[in-house]
Amino acid sequence: MMALYGYFRSSTSYRTRIAMNLKSLDYDYIAVNLAQDEQLESAFKLLNPQGLVPVLQADDLLLYQSPAILEWLEDIYPDNPLLPKDASGRMQVRAISAMIGCDIHPLNNRRILQYLRNELSVDEEDVITWCNRWITEGFAALEKILAKDKTRGKFCYGDNPTLADCYLIPQVASARRFKVDLSAYPNIIEIDAHCRRLKAFTDADPMVQPDAPKSQ
């Protein structure tokens, strides 16, 4: 049995939950309350000195950084593959994943937003404007890539969910939270709607996690 340390609203935890669900893997979920800075406490930093979620514990192995965790899962649990067999397909999936994981998500990551709010005294309206700026720029480029791929099925690549979808769906959730107008991205909306009909994605949704606020 594996243990996944995460936070219900963390996009990186969300993408990891999706991938583990798609691979039908059992795991214990251990909540780390980012709102109370539990990730900065010494006990958690023994698991990950960066003080970031997710952390996946598999026996004596501790894995951190969600891109590395997802690649490790793909290597160790090859059933229900999340990467295409061909090299060009793997490149495409990894490129879309990196667009989101490297270029969009980090700029609306909680650490960045807390720094804007608390250290630079940026008001909430401007924080939302900041998030909109970088999400819309990234989504505009991604939408063009998706539209050009005439072989694409209902997912980011092909006819089966891949790592790219694990990255995209949490970012769409963040976009909605930050009041991004998604009407300019019909392909992204279509993929999101299709994924959200699959149990692996609905079971990973932030608001059904044990640590989600019960009043929401």
Q: Taking the C-alpha atoms of 159, 26, 106 and 214 in order, what is their torsion angle to the nearest 10 degrees?
A: 110
pTM of the predicted protein model: 0.97
- The answer to whether residue 216 scores a pLDDT higher than 70 is no
- The answer to whether residue 215 scores a pLDDT higher than 80 is no
Query: pLDDT tens digits for 154-186?
Result: 999 999 999 999 999 999 999 999 999 999 999
Phi, psi of 125 (to 5 degrees): -60, -40
Radius of gyration of the chain (CA): 17
Tell me what percent of the residues of the chain surpass a pLDDT of 70: 99
Domains of the chain: 2-80 (3.40.30.10), 87-201 (1.20.1050.10)
Strand partners of residue 28: 3
Query: pLDDT tens digits for 98-120?
Result: 999 999 999 999 999 999 999 99
Other C-beta atoms within 10 Å of 124: how many?
Answer: 10
Closest CA to 85 of 189, 162, 4: 162
- The answer to whether residue 130 scores a pLDDT higher than 80 is yes
* DSSP per-residue string spanning 102-171: IIIGGGG-HHHHHIIIIIS---HHHHHHHHHHHHHHHHHHHHHHHHH-TT--SSSSTTS--HHHHHHHHH
> Distance from CA of residue 145 to its chain's centroid?
19
What's the DSSP call for residue 3?
E
Average pLDDT over residues 67-76: 98
- The answer to whether residue 4 scores a pLDDT higher than 60 is yes
